[in-house]
Amino acid sequence: MKPIYPLNVKNEFVFNSSPRDFTVEEIPLYEFTGEGEHLVLKARKKEMTTWEMLDAISNHVGIRRRDIGYAGLKDKHAMTIQYISLPAKLEEKLSSFSHEKIKILETTRHNNKIRVGHLKGNRFEIRLKKVLGVQKDKLDSVLKWIKANGVPNYFGNQRFGTNGNNWEDGKKLLDGTLKMRDRKTREFLMGSYQSYLFNKWLIKRMEMNLLLEKFSEAETEKVMRLPEGSLKGVKAQPGFFKLLEGDLMMHYPYGRLFEVEDLKHEAERFATKDIAPTGLIPGKKTKRASGLAGEIERQFDEEIKLFGARRYAWIQVTEIKKDYIEEKAHYELSFVLPKGSYATNILDVLRGEALSV
């Protein structure tokens, strides 16, 4: 399964997912109070997973890993800066902590434990190499498009394991053809299958968007086997990603979920980045789309005994900065993405990869 991206470009560059060329820094959801029973650490790590960092710190201060709070999991093959919390009474023990791959940059007090999801987003810094001649101008042009329009919010390859097939075991667990005792691993694999279904749905919607760029509404309906007249007026919407009757939207970058009622009006709000469409992560207690959007969504909906969710289908890339070092042929980028989004989506748009299923 290869995602579909919006731009028919071909850029060549080299990117190494390594601490020298890839940095990720969490942006906390709120300011820390400076007082309370919890100690918040701003920790920098490299070449290790978040779990490995938590193990190293918990072993040193003598607590269980689950007693340490964290907002999200960060890439192993990067320099990552993230916030974690532990009981403030352990501050003295922590003062003697030393690790070759971990550095505590700052500490402060707060009155509650950090929880998963307590993030505004992440700031990424990426170095692209062997960017020569016209490639620099092409990258500038694509970045301009990304800044104006945003990008599709696919789950990244990290979600699917080294070989990209974690979702297959997740499906087998759901089908009952695979047994596994470890609850966390079981839920992770089933979550991978949920992510796979979301990506498949988003590929379908991206396919429709690409067709509408090139063909009429009636022609697109025929190719996608949609009811006659169901796309009437859709092609005229501003922006690349088109909304459909029955789509479920959310205020952006977070907020209330609601159903599209006036396509033209909501498409205009989407164009101003006030709201964004959502896709289904199948599972329990999750609202489904209706109308034409629901017809497409049902093709990728399955009964899964995990909680589902709605996920933004389209996201904005903010605080974009770039610097071209001509003598080294390096193109250095920094940008901010909302939580749960993947920098690999930006790289793939820049490359112009995967324009067909």
- Whole-angstrom Cα distance, residue 175 to residue 16? 38
- Whole-angstrom Cα distance, residue 197 to residue 220? 23
Question: What does the block give as tokens for 243?
Answer: 């909304």
8: number of Cβ within 10 Å: 9
Residue at token pair 């990603």: 241
Look up 274 and say whether it is catalytic.
no
Parallel, antiparallel, or unpaired: how do β-strands 330-338 and 119-128 relate?
antiparallel
H helix intervals, the chain: 50-61, 91-94, 134-149, 166-175, 183-214, 217-224, 263-271, 291-298, 343-351
Catalytic residue among 21, 55, 75, 140: 75
C-alpha closest to that of 294 among 226, 219, 234, 215: 226
Parallel, antiparallel, or unpaired: how do β-strands 102-110 and 275-281 relate?
unpaired
Say how many CA atoms lie within 13 Å of 102 toward its Cβ: 25
C-alpha closest to that of 66 among 86, 96, 48, 43: 86
230: number of Cβ within 10 Å: 16
- Whole-angstrom Cα distance, residue 172 to residue 240? 36
End-to-end CA distance of the chain: 7
Backbone angles phi, psi at 250, to 5 degrees: -135, 145
Residues marked active site are found at: 75
